[in-house]
Amino acid sequence: MKPLTRDDLYSLEAYADARADFRHRVIEHKKHRQVRLHPNAALYFEDRLTIQYQIQEMLRVERIFERAAIQEELDAYNPLIPDGSNWKATFMLEYPDVDERRRELARLGGIEHKVWVQVEGCGRIRAIANEDMERTTDDKTAAVHFMRFELDAASIAALRTGSALHMGIEHPGLPCDIAVPEVTRQALLHDLADHVA
């Protein structure tokens, strides 16, 4: 997928007019890009549209309209767009109760390195996590991690021919293995459309 440029973005005024419809479109789009690994853990897969929405909202909230400041936002968010051979996702550990969240995050250190995807008939592909900064300390892990899954040619080819997709976590504190629904598998396959296997 191509990186976003200033030409792809609405101006603040145009976004104010288009926001309701654009937001509805993005919400519908995101429904098929979420994978609930566990009641308390999920992957939210990013693409060009989800990242454009995040940038537009940031520009709106911060009232950013200067060329250099807009470019800074583009430079910060563009690396989250998949580039043809990978998936990029936000991994979230979701515990509504504050005390439970604190307890679980202390117990789940290193979990970000135990998340995987696997195409049927191929090997597991572990997440490359938090390339911008470390989010696990000796005491706890963070509730949010940024991940990249680099798919090999065999996995991409198998996906294109209809092979099933599984995702899961190998961490002993939150082990899981789920079959990805077909609608989500198709949405994620689209992220690889520009890649020549």
Strand order in the sheet with 144-150: 34-38, 41-46, 86-93, 144-150, 128-129
Give the pLDDT confidence of 89-114 residue by residue, as tens digits: 999 999 999 999 999 999 999 999 99
The dihedral built from the CA positions of residue 54, 56, 59 and 60, taken in this order, carries a sign that is: negative
Give the pLDDT confidence of 169-179 residue by residue, as tens digits: 999 999 999 99
Decide: 58 and 28 in contact? Cβ < 8 Å: no
Supply 28's token pair.
């519908």
Supply 37's token pair.
């690994």
Evaluate whether residue 156 is within a structural domain: yes
The confidence score (pLDDT) of residue 136 equals 72
Q: Which domain holds residue 92?
A: 6-190
Evaluate whether residue 196 is within a structural domain: no
Evaluate whether residue 73 is within a structural domain: yes
Evaluate whether residue 197 is within a structural domain: no
User: Does the structure show a pLDDT above 80 at 131?
Assistant: no
Evaluate whether residue 35 is within a structural domain: yes
User: Does the structure show a pLDDT above 80 at 38?
Assistant: yes
Evaluate whether residue 20 is within a structural domain: yes
The Cα 172–Cα 104 span in angstroms is 12
Evaluate whether residue 34 is within a structural domain: yes
- Structural domains of the chain, count: 1
Evaluate whether residue 195 is within a structural domain: no
User: Does the structure show a pLDDT above 90 at 130?
Assistant: no
Mean pLDDT of 154-177: 96
